[in-house]
Structure 1
Amino acid sequence: MRVRLKADGRIVELRDGQEFPVQPFPIQPFPIQPLPIQPAASAAPAEASSLAVRDLRRRACLTQMEFAAKLGVPVETIRNWEQGKRAPRGPARALLAVIAHAPETVFQALAKA
């Protein structure tokens, strides 16, 4: 179906070079459903992750800048992890897990790389 909006606001259907009025159809409003409230427990992993990163860095006796330099990431990344704005993902999460068990070994290996 091809339609055209006329200057007076009417909508007409174009068929065989002629214009035919379009019958308006009632608009059904969408039912409004409240969004489900997320339980507070869903926020806990990000918070726990940020505390874990801060704890790892402090146990290694490093500043944010030193920790970032050893990991080869921007200091903003460390700040975002520690403040809970972002969470480490993928390889960074794996690296942090290894650092938790053998920090000196990881830092020595990263220094050689």
Structure 2
Amino acid sequence: MARINSKMTMLFKLLLVLSLVLVVFTAERKLMNVIVNDGVPQGAIQCKSLYSVQDGDTCDDLAQAFNLTMSTLNFLNPNLDCDNLFIGQWTCHNLWSFF
């Protein structure tokens, strides 16, 4: 009988530890929702700085003006077609991050 209680206690402790690990992992995942990729946060993000494309602007001009790499500019503006920029097109250059 003592062995059964000992095994049950051990099993209970193991389940308790696994539950705690799961809770901590879930909390950390929520806190670390922003994953860095080429210096650009991903996850729950919202643009906080927009720019309206002007006549003669190119993607290189935009990246240089806002001190961004081309990969960052493309990440911030996934639908941006650098060969077909149009006047008045909104582009994002800075993000808010939400956890």
TM norm structure 2: 0.32
More helix by share: 1
Q: Report 1 or 2 for greater relative contact order, CA contacts < 8 Å, sequence distance ≥ 6.
A: 2
Whose Rg is larger?
1
